[in-house]
Amino acid sequence: MTQLGRRKHSRFLLSQPVEGNLRVREEVAIEEWNESELVILSPEPCRTDERLTLEIPGSVRHRVSVRVRESRPAVVADGPIRHRLRVSVEGHGPDVKKPEGREL
Amino acid sequence: MATLVRSLPVRLVEVSRSGCRLECSRPIESGTSGQLAVELGGVMRIDDIRIARCQMRMGAGPIYQVGAELLRTRRLGRRTVRMAIKTIIDGRMGAGHARNDHDVPIPASVRTTGAGGRSESRAPPAQPSRGP
């Protein structure tokens, strides 16, 4: 009989750790978006110069490579503390339509 | 709304058939899911994981120990982390990839506590760092 919360499988420690990569996704709100820069409200802070990918849903999923220029905590009305990220656009995915002075 | 995708460098230090332990330089919130990519046996392996716990490794600087559950969101193929772990545990990965803690000459992995037991989660790996 197993108990909840108890491990069922043996664990093995690797003699040599293996380098890897973890890609995590989080929902963010876009506050502003112009040709070269976006302002995003994120649940997590970011480091300056950190490179990220932004995926914008739609009939075609747009992927935008961005770099963090600024990350500041922000209090959203009646909500938890968020982090306002100012990011610069580094590049677009192959099927991205370039926005033209768009503001959300 | 949009989705922000961030890529975090991690180190895979411990494995089991249902999960793994990673080391990361920044905390990851429990419940977060993501895609783990590691090169094992010369093949890039990818699987979806969910973070079960994350705690700072004491006395080791900004290193976080992350316990993750391997999710069965894709078929168990050759390029999955689960298949690689299965291979390691079954002892087919080849000598030298991992070692048995009790120096039993098993060709693959490692060190294990018994089922339902606890391993020393703060114990350093046998070779804490790889050369470049």
CB contact under 8 A, B101 and A25: no
CA atoms A6, A9, A10, A16: torsion sign: negative
Q: What fold is seen in the domain B10-90?
A: Thrombin, subunit H (2.40.10)
HSE-CB of B50 using CA atoms within 13 angstroms: 7
ipTM of this predicted complex? 0.76
Displacement of CA B53 from its chain's centroid (Å): 13
* Chain B residues touching residue A24 (CB < 8 angstroms): 5-6, 8, 28, 32-34
Question: What is the reported pLDDT for B60?
Answer: 67
Closest CA to A75 of A43, A30, A33: A43
DSSP-derived 3-state class of residue B24? strand
- pLDDT: is B88 or B127 the higher one? B88
Which residue among B98, B113, B115 sits closest to A16, beta carbon to beta carbon?
Answer: B98
Q: Tell me: the pLDDT tens digits for A15-56?
A: 889 999 999 988 999 999 888 999 999 988 898 999 999 998
Which residue among B14, B28, B128 sits closest to A24, beta carbon to beta carbon?
Answer: B28
How far apart (Å, rounded) are the C-alpha atoms in residues A69 and A37?
9
Instruction: Using a pLDDT cut of 90, give the percent of chain B over it.
Output: 43
Which residues, in sequence order, are CB contacts of B96 under 8 Å at separation 6+?
A15
* Chain A residues touching residue B4 (CB < 8 angstroms): 25-28, 40, 42, 52-55
Q: Tell me: the pLDDT tens digits for A61-90?
A: 788 999 999 999 998 877 788 999 999 999
Work out the mean pLDDT of chain B and round it to a whole number.
75
Q: Tell me: the pLDDT tens digits for B18-67?
A: 899 999 998 898 999 999 999 988 899 999 999 999 998 887 678 999 99
How far apart (Å, rounded) are the C-alpha atoms in residues B65 and B27?
8
Could you tell me the pTM of the whole model? 0.70
B93 touches chain A (CB under 8 A): no
